[in-house]
Structure 1
Amino acid sequence: MTQPTPAIVPQSAVRRLPRVALWLFCAAYVLPGLFGREPWKGNEFTAFGHMLALAEGASDWFNPSVWGQAPELDALLPYWLGAWAIQIAPSWLSAGFAVRIPFAGLLGLTLASTWHGVYYLALSPQAQPVPFAFGGEAQPKDYARTIADGAVLALIACLGLTLLSHEASPILMQLAFVSFAFYGVAALPYHPRYSFSALSTGLLGLCLSGAPSFAVLMAIGSGFLCLLDRQSTSHQTGRQHALWLLLMGLAVAALATLLDVWQWRLMPLHNDWQEWRSLLRLVAWFTWPAWPLAVWTLWRWRRQWTSLHWSRHLVLPMWFTALTLTTAMVTRSSEQTLLLALPSFATLAAFALPTLRRSVAALIDWFTLLFFSGCAFIIWVIWIAMQTGWPAQPAANVERLFPGFQPSFGWVAFIVALAATAVWIWLVTWRTAKHRQALWKSMVLPAGGAALCWLLLLTLWLPLLDFARSYKPWVQQIQGVMAKQEAYEARTGCLLSYGLDVGQMTAFHYHGGFDIKSIETTSNEQQSTCPWLLVDNDLRPELASVVRLHEWNRVRTIRRPSDNNEDVTLYHRRHP
């Protein structure tokens, strides 16, 4: 027989978190970053380049490439989704904003899928609290709803979710499909038809978004767990579920082979302690504050997952977590891969809530209060310094780090930030009052603090962040240099590049309107019609081997205002 559950929960402790409050938490987290900014450098702008090329008909839909460069991930669906968004968007909507809309929906889908997955896991008999002798224990559905609320709050609170989940890139689509597949496996004993639909969508979506091998492993491992599950389903039903998951794994493998999207870019395990320590540090901050609660869950519920009659509400998220962490150890993009582990980490963290001691809950509250209040205070102080010049030191630091940045004041951003800060103060006051019964109470301040700081950054600091992370100021700076040259207006259309990556080339095409061409893939005849040449400064010594230098005048070397590692040198073609 299984050991008694460690959860002792009265009905009074499963008071429902108001739906409006939960929706506001999610909206305050999802919406900031959607408005008022350009695509940011890195994964987002590189992906945006491929989406824009597809939308403009400059790339093959089944073999995406731009300027002769294939995407880093052999993905199709993320680029298709972005291209479709650009094509159907009205003319007054910028392509960058149009792309972010469906990806914001994917983040919302991640939160919703995590909630429903945890809800069905918490409904399982092994996850239910201890029944009281005279009644009064938490009712199953109320208990499951409360645990699911706590899981969503724990997911929002994870530090690693903040930036990557707000970028229109393939990794966000993978996160949405992982959470969708997680929901499908979790709900199998309760709604097989809906679960099979969710699993099919999740696994096939993962295949098309650049993770076919991950999808196959997920299907096989989840099927094996269904086969061994004796508590939630009968033996025959478990076999049927396992067989269906195996077939889905085969279907994913066949589709990946047909579309040629397999990729095995694995590295051997690290043999250097410094690399392992860096990876452990990354995991520690990326999954904070979910990982300490997840460890506490594994300890307090240890009898439910170490015995032969294990509990699916623990083993299933453990399997998803183990698969993702293992993958992160053998890939170069560890940070992106770890993003896929956050829904399962949040699930394990949520099951710690019924077992937390009051002293531990108080420690979480005080640490969260001090940490996020301090972060919010720093954000406000630096914003005031940018606007007024006082305090002098933060203002000087901003000017030194971001030369050329001109602060601007926006009433809408200011009012939203002020309202969010007021809500945070109210939330802290509410939490420190005598509201000690609801299980989700320990996750309110972490989730609220994470949403507050992200919202403040994307309102008060949005002009600064956009200046630092977008390419638009850099393109405008280079256009200003071009404007001083002879015949700029008449000959500005074509621009040759040497050593620039996809994101940088896309920036000059999108922000500057240039017909940009890579010098490595352009014929001599086509090169002769371009009046401008832009060269990565590190490759200047090699330039003589690819162009006739006597045909070009060096204009100047231009440094990107917020990044010393993106110096480029501009050349202008000499008149014949």
Structure 2
Amino acid sequence: MKPVRLPASATNALPRWGLFALCLIYILSGLFGRDPWKTDDAAGFGVMWTMANGGLEDWLWPHIVGLPMADEGPLAYWIGALCIKLFGWLLGDALAARIATAGFFLLGSLSVWYATYQLGRRSEAQPLRLAFGGQPEPRDFGRTLADGALLIYLGCLGLLLHSHYTSAKALHVSLIALAIYATVRLFEKESVRTAAGLGAVLGLLVLTRGWVAPLALWLAIAVLAGIRSKALMAKTAIVSLATAVAISEIWLATNYYVRPFNSSPFDAWMLWNHRQISLPSIESIRYFTKNVIWFAWPAWPYAGWAVYAWRKQFRAIHIAVPLAFAMTFIVLALINGRPDEGILLPLLPPLAILAAFGLPTMKRGAINAVDWFSVMTLTTCAAFIWLGWIAKQTGWPAKLAKNAFKLAPGFKPEFSLVMFLVAVCVTIGWILLVHWRVSRRPAVLWRAVVLSSGGVILCWVLLTTLWLPWVNYGKSYSGVALQMAEALPEGGACVETNVGPAQRASFAYFGKIPFADFDDIDCDLLLLQDDNRRQDNAKRLIRADEQWRLLWEGRRASDRHERFRLYQKVKR
């Protein structure tokens, strides 16, 4: 028996303009007024910038001015480089690359919404018919569930930073959502065309972050298709796989024939893929259990409840498809030998969709408990963000101001009227939302997540308005890059270095440092990075038979441990 019994009044959908405005506020906050940060953000931008300012070889072999970066795949960087080509002259290269990031996010949001909408309209997902009528129509029920899924997706804590970075991970999570939608369409139409569409998405996933996840998804979807019919399984197994291979071969085959820089990224790319597969270890299990709780909040509690509530109908497509995707990525996370947040991101779209089907079955007491937890926790976080900003601007409370400036020595507070007004507006909007939820007590399905999602977006907007200059000061390499550029001697041919991808990209972009390329063998300049905490000695990285003269030494003011040293070879 179905666990859902609802009146039509519970399926009033959110206004389209409100949902669209919420998505725009979410993604636009944090894209403007900052530099590429010391994370995947700067590294991904470095690859895009190198492509945009290079030739065919640079587009075929992703790299950061000579540092190979073919581990994941080129698709996200191709799109970002194209945005730099088209809009860099108007917006600047860094902001132009983030147009691709915004596009990735909107693609993922639309895919989550439409996949849930299609699943919510299916007959097996509909609520029980009421004795005297008045149950919701399939279309209205699907729209309400889709609104709830999108709100849950926006509220996931793990999505916040990664959806704003210029990295392959931002595109990867959106393509996972698109793959769910393509799978839903495949089970609805069961045609060769929909199978080819699913294969196209899987092929794009291969070009984004390797073949491990697409292959695992293909196997899981083929098993689901086989449960329904052998014909559907054959279409999935043959047509989808053939299409995915054909799309991914575009890049691989071109590299084979062109051989950029007299080599190929294929070996490094395959090695990175193989490292994603190993036996489950204590480290991977510990990492997963420790981080997934906060990373997938608030999706996982609702998703877990949905699986329990629909346990007698778990073979229904609206439960089986997102559950299969979620289980696939849980397994991949546990067998990954090098756990990081990138292996948790693909969990968010299927969990958000699955969580939407838990909303109609939740008890009022559970919903109220979640609401009050969200109000108390997120309001406290927002108040602390405001208080910290006031401390930075005025010096009161003194302890908070001291701690803020201690973490960012040399930082000078800035006041932006526009940012201040935006922060005030979103805070007022949060107060009005809480008042509406408490006073009206609406019966609509998405009431259980509107405060959770709204509070997360409130805190994010406050951080990216009031605190953005402070965060940017601590995560940008622009200052130290410009200092080093001034110490660079005239006519320096190339610079060898051991710095990481984010630092290399920032120094090349801000300081125009001529790093050694694929063809550079012997350079007169050497840039070394070490860490005081590990008591690294930069001189150990210099060959004993060579003599070097120290030209410059510096670091970011916000990082007391990281050091950079520029040397010039002494000619004998």
- Normalising by structure 1, we get a TM-score of 0.89
Report how far residue 521 of structure 1 moved: 7.2
Q: What's 1:245 paired with? A: 240
Distance 2:570 2:231 in 1: 79
**CA deviation map 1:327-386 (0-9, x unaligned):** 112221431121011010001111111001000000010000011111111111111111
Q: What's 1:35 paired with? A: 32
Distance 1:547 1:411 in 2: 58
Report how far residue 461 of structure 1 moved: 0.8
Contact 1:212 1:252 in 2 (8 A): no
Report how far residue 297 of structure 1 moved: 0.8
Distance 1:240 1:111, change over 3 A: same
Distance 1:534 1:442, change over 3 A: same
- What pairs with 1:146-295 in structure 2 (closer than 5 Å)? 146-190=144-188, 195-196=194-195, 198-229=197-228, 240=235, 243-248=238-243, 251=246, 258=253, 260=266, 261-262=269-270, 263-266=273-276, 268-272=278-282, 276-295=285-304
Distance 1:136 1:191 in 2: 30
- What pairs with 1:70-89 in structure 2 (closer than 5 Å)? 70-71=68-69, 73-89=71-87
Partner SS for 1:568 = strand
The answer to whether residue 309 in structure 2 is matched with residue 314 in structure 1 is no
Partner SS for 2:495 = strand
Distance 1:398 1:572, change over 3 A: farther
Distance 2:44 2:544 in 1: 28
Report how far residue 251 of structure 1 moved: 4.2
Report how far residue 442 of structure 1 moved: 0.8
- What pairs with 1:61-76 in structure 2 (closer than 5 Å)? 61-71=59-69, 73-76=71-74
Contact 2:199 2:240 in 1 (8 A): no
Partner SS for 2:511 = coil
Q: What's 1:568 paired with? A: 564
Contact 2:172 2:205 in 1 (8 A): yes
Partner SS for 1:545 = coil
Report how far residue 142 of structure 1 moved: 0.5
Distance 1:246 1:479 in 2: 50
Distance 1:384 1:399 in 2: 13
Distance 1:475 1:492 in 2: 18
Distance 1:80 1:29, change over 3 A: same
Distance 1:246 1:499 in 2: 40
Instruction: Looking at secondary structure, tell me which structure has more helix per residue.
Output: 2
Partner SS for 1:188 = helix
Contact 1:215 1:252 in 2 (8 A): no
Contact 2:2 2:310 in 1 (8 A): yes
Q: What's 2:313 paired with? A: 304
Contact 2:495 2:516 in 1 (8 A): yes
Report how far residue 498 of structure 1 moved: 3.0
Identical pairs, percent: 34
Report how far residue 241 of structure 1 moved: 5.2
Distance 1:413 1:360, change over 3 A: same
Distance 1:257 1:521, change over 3 A: closer
Aligned residue among 326, 340, 346 for 1:340: 346
Runs of 5+ unmatched residues, structure 1: 483-487
Distance 1:299 1:10, change over 3 A: same
Contact 2:197 2:240 in 1 (8 A): no
- Matched pairs, number: 550
Report how far residue 92 of structure 1 moved: 3.8
- What pairs with 1:134-533 in structure 2 (closer than 5 Å)? 134-190=132-188, 195-196=194-195, 198-229=197-228, 240=235, 243-248=238-243, 251=246, 258=253, 260=266, 261-262=269-270, 263-266=273-276, 268-272=278-282, 276-305=285-314, 310-331=315-336, 332-479=338-485, 482=487, 491=490, 496-517=495-516, 522-524=520-522, 526-527=523-524, 530=525, 533=527
Report how far residue 548 of structure 1 moved: 2.9
Q: What's 2:262 paired with? A: none
Report how far residue 248 of structure 1 moved: 3.7
Distance 1:25 1:215, change over 3 A: same
**CA deviation map 1:177-196 (0-9, x unaligned):** 11111111112344567845
Distance 2:15 2:545 in 1: 66
Contact 2:494 2:520 in 1 (8 A): no
Contact 1:219 1:248 in 2 (8 A): no
Distance 1:473 1:364 in 2: 44
Partner amino acid, structure 2, of 1:508: F
Partner amino acid, structure 1, of 2:505: T
Distance 1:252 1:563 in 2: 44
Q: What's 2:261 paired with? A: none
Report how far residue 209 of structure 1 moved: 0.8
**CA deviation map 1:173-223 (0-9, x unaligned):** 111211111111112344567845652442121011122232122123213
Partner amino acid, structure 2, of 1:22: L
Distance 1:497 1:113, change over 3 A: same
Distance 2:72 2:493 in 1: 30
Distance 1:506 1:301, change over 3 A: same
Partner amino acid, structure 2, of 1:215: P
Report how far residue 565 of structure 1 moved: 4.0
Q: What's 1:485 paired with? A: none
Partner SS for 1:284 = helix
Distance 1:68 1:39 in 2: 19
Distance 1:474 1:381 in 2: 30
Distance 1:521 1:561 in 2: 34
Q: What's 1:47 paired with? A: 44
Report how far residue 454 of structure 1 moved: 0.9
Contact 1:499 1:539 in 2 (8 A): no
Report how far residue 279 of structure 1 moved: 2.2
Distance 1:124 1:245 in 2: 24
Report how far residue 466 of structure 1 moved: 0.9
Distance 1:255 1:314, change over 3 A: farther
Report how far residue 121 of structure 1 moved: 1.0
Distance 1:243 1:508, change over 3 A: closer
Distance 2:2 2:503 in 1: 56
Report how far residue 303 of structure 1 moved: 0.6
Partner SS for 2:565 = strand
Distance 2:247 2:227 in 1: 23
Distance 2:439 2:462 in 1: 25
Report how far residue 30 of structure 1 moved: 1.1
Partner SS for 1:16 = coil
Partner amino acid, structure 2, of 1:293: Y
Distance 1:72 1:215, change over 3 A: same
Partner amino acid, structure 1, of 2:543: S
**CA deviation map 1:499-522 (0-9, x unaligned):** 21232122122111222338x974
Contact 1:328 1:338 in 2 (8 A): yes
The answer to whether residue 117 in structure 2 is matched with residue 111 in structure 1 is no
- What pairs with 1:122-141 in structure 2 (closer than 5 Å)? 122-141=120-139
Partner amino acid, structure 2, of 1:38: D
Instruction: Please provide the CA RMSD for this pair.
Output: 2.6
Deviates more, 1:210-219 or 1:132-141: 210-219
Report how far residue 138 of structure 1 moved: 1.4
